[in-house]
Chains A and B, each alone.
Chain A
Amino acid sequence: MSSNPYVLAAVGVVMALAARADEPTAKKESIPRPDAATLLRGEHVYQRYCLSCHGLHGDGRGESAQFLDPRPRDFTKGVFKWRSTPSGTLPVDGDLFKTIRNGLYNTNMPRWSGLTDGQLQSVVAYVESFSPLFVTDQRGKPIEIPPEPPATPESIAAGKQVYQSMGCFNCHGQEGRGDGPSALTLTDDWGRPIRPFDFTTGHLKCGGENRDIYRVFMTGLNGTPMPSFADAMTPEQAWNLVHYLRTLMANK
Chain B
Amino acid sequence: MKPDLHRLGILFAAALAFGPLTAGASDGGPSSGSASGAEEHGAYRTVEVVQGGRVTGRVSLQGTPPAPKPLPEKRPGLCTAPPVNPYVVDKDGSLANAIVYLKDIDAGKKMVPGKATLEQHECSYVPHLQAVPLGTTLTITNRDPVMHCAHAFIEDTMAFNYARPVKDQPMEKVLDKPGFTRIRCEIHKWMTSVVAVMPSPYFAVTGPDGKFVITDIPPGSYTLAVWHEALGEQTAPVVVAPDGEGVVNFVFKTRSAGAAIPR
A interface residues, Cβ below 8 angstroms from B:
4, 6-7, 10, 13-14, 17-18, 20-21, 23, 25-31, 33, 56-59, 76-79, 87-88, 129-138, 165-167, 170-171, 182, 185-186, 189, 220, 222-223, 225-232
- Tell me, in angstroms, the Cα distance from A58 to B17 when the chains sit together: 24
B34 within 8 A of A: yes
CB of A232 within 8 A of CB of B161, answer no
CB of B157 within 8 A of CB of A227, answer no
- Tell me, in angstroms, the Cα distance from A214 to B8 when the chains sit together: 39
- A14-B14, A17-B14, A18-B18 known; A182 and B156 CB under 8 Å? no
B35 within 8 A of A: yes
B219 within 8 A of A: no
- A17-B18, A20-B20 known; A227 and B161 CB under 8 Å? yes
8 closest A-B pairs (Cβ-Cβ)?
Answer: A167-B147, A88-B160, A231-B171, A57-B3, A225-B186, A227-B163, A135-B13, A167-B165
CB of A227 within 8 A of CB of B149, answer yes
CB of B34 within 8 A of CB of A29, answer yes
CB of B161 within 8 A of CB of A129, answer no
- A17-B15, A227-B149, A231-B171 known; A166 and B163 CB under 8 Å? yes
CB of A182 within 8 A of CB of B186, answer yes
- Tell me, in angstroms, the Cα distance from A57 to B225 when the chains sit together: 33
* Chain A residues positioned under 8 Å from B35 (CB to CB): 27, 30
* Chain B residues positioned under 8 Å from A137 (CB to CB): 33
CB of B4 within 8 A of CB of A4, answer yes
Number of interface residues of B (CB under 8 A): 48
- Tell me, in angstroms, the Cα distance from A139 to B157 when the chains sit together: 16
> Which listed residue, A14, A58, A225, touches B11 by the CB 8 Å rule?
A14
CB of B158 within 8 A of CB of A232, answer no
B interface residues, Cβ below 8 angstroms from A:
2-4, 6-11, 13-15, 17-21, 31-35, 37-38, 146-147, 149-153, 156-166, 169, 171-172, 186-187, 189
CB of A23 within 8 A of CB of B19, answer yes
* Chain B residues positioned under 8 Å from A225 (CB to CB): 149, 151, 161, 186
- Tell me, in angstroms, the Cα distance from A49 to B10 when the chains sit together: 23
Chain B nearest CB from A75 CB (Å) reads 10
- Tell me, in angstroms, the Cα distance from A231 to B165 when the chains sit together: 10
* Chain B residues positioned under 8 Å from A170 (CB to CB): 147, 187
Chain B nearest CB from A65 CB (Å) reads 16
CB of B7 within 8 A of CB of A6, answer yes
> Which listed residue, A18, A57, A229, touches B2 by the CB 8 Å rule?
A57
* Chain B residues positioned under 8 Å from A138 (CB to CB): 33-34
- Tell me, in angstroms, the Cα distance from A192 to B6 when the chains sit together: 25
* Chain A residues positioned under 8 Å from B146 (CB to CB): 167
30 contacts between A and B (CB under 8 A): A7-B7, A14-B14, A26-B17, A27-B34, A30-B17, A33-B10, A59-B3, A87-B160, A88-B161, A132-B13, A165-B166, A166-B166, A167-B147, A182-B186, A182-B187, A185-B186, A189-B156, A189-B157, A220-B161, A222-B158, A222-B161, A225-B161, A226-B161, A227-B149, A227-B150, A228-B163, A231-B162, A231-B172, A232-B165, A232-B171
